[in-house]
Amino acid sequence: MRPNPPLAAVLTLCASALVAGTTLFAKMLGTDTLGAPLHPLQVSQGRFLFALMAFSTAALVLRPRFTRPAWSTHVLRVLCGWGGVSFMFAAAAFIPLADATAISFLNPVVGMLLAVPFLGEKVGRVRISAAVIALVGAMVLLRPTPQAFQPAALLALGAALCLGAEVVVIKRLSGREGAFQILLINNFIGACIASLAALAVWQMPTPSQWAALAGLGLLMASAQTCFLQAIRRADASFVAPFWYAALIFAALYDFLLFAEVPDAVSALGALIIVSGAGLLAWREARLRPSAASPSGSAPTPQAAPPLSPPAPPQSQSPEPRR
């Protein structure tokens, strides 16, 4: 496919808006906005189930060719992605969307650190500096003082840890299987795991909640599709900065629907995390050319922010979350 950077930028902005929209739906479902709050595990089930319906329908129409999948690797990847999605949706119900999104952007840093023991990668001074900067930003957002500490922010931190582990597993799938196959298998396994986990807490959604669950799944599927199309038209290092627009969209949605305005601490913490992740993305772009490779939870970058809910491009394997 011929390079088309302007279109890639537009597609990435669309993907970031859609992923931020999934956290908005999760917040509506996790609060009493549409009825009795649904458990995050049930919200996660809806995300995977309706996304699976979308990709299955596309598979029936497109009839893509499949190769033999690495099932064990897929299962491990989905467990990490499902955990990240569930934590993220739980966090969205309690803290501002912009804060939850910013903290989840730590996932490329976590992935980088985990790649040292599990993939044998070496970490230089620039990468260590980027990790320290991002972690400082996370501490700012966590507000670690008795008066301002947000316990729910730890849920977003858990999402970042799970999605960071997912980045490591995604690297094992990179280049081995087709993009559509990875997305379809990811959502199939995710729907099975999420459905089993939601059995103990499942309750009948209201009509509005059913619509929101369907919208959440379709938004995630659309975001993954937009991001994969973007990464086919430009390098990951080019589209990565546009993914940070998810912070802007999350803050905008929060303001329009819940009248929440990010305070100075939130803005400072988000800026620090983006600076750290941006430094990591710049370093990865200089080290080697990027190559696209899908994942199912949400676009996730190795050197830039994260899809398994919010999730941006990876220097070598993109992903829109989880």
Q: What is the pLDDT of residues 54-87, one digit of tens each?
A: 999 999 998 888 888 889 889 998 999 899 889 9
The mean per-residue pLDDT over the stretch 302-306 comes to 38
Nearest to 226 by CA among 17, 2, 3, 4: 17
pLDDT for res 170: 72
pLDDT for res 75: 92
Burial class (CB in 10 A: 0-12, 13-18, 19+), 118: middle
The mean per-residue pLDDT over the stretch 224-229 comes to 81
On average, the pLDDT of the chain sits at 79
pLDDT for res 29: 94
Q: Which residue has the higher pLDDT, 97 or 235?
A: 97
Lowest mean pLDDT among 244-248, 263-267, 297-301: 297-301
Specify whether the CB–CB gap between 46 and 30 falls below 8 A. Answer: no
- Within 28-162, strands assigned E span none
DSSP state of 121: -
Specify whether the CB–CB gap between 315 and 302 falls below 8 A. Answer: yes
* CA–CA dist 49, 213 (Å, integer): 9
Specify whether the CB–CB gap between 131 and 141 falls below 8 A. Answer: no
Q: Domain ranges for the chain, please list them.
A: 5-287
Confidence of residue 191 (pLDDT cuts 50, 70, 90): very high
pLDDT for res 320: 43
Largest CA distance in the chain: 56
* CA–CA dist 309, 85 (Å, integer): 6
Q: What is the pTM of this model?
A: 0.74
* CA–CA dist 173, 167 (Å, integer): 10
The mean per-residue pLDDT over the stretch 113-117 comes to 76
**Amino acid letter, residue 316:** Q
DSSP state of 1: -
Specify whether the CB–CB gap between 230 and 292 falls below 8 A. Answer: no
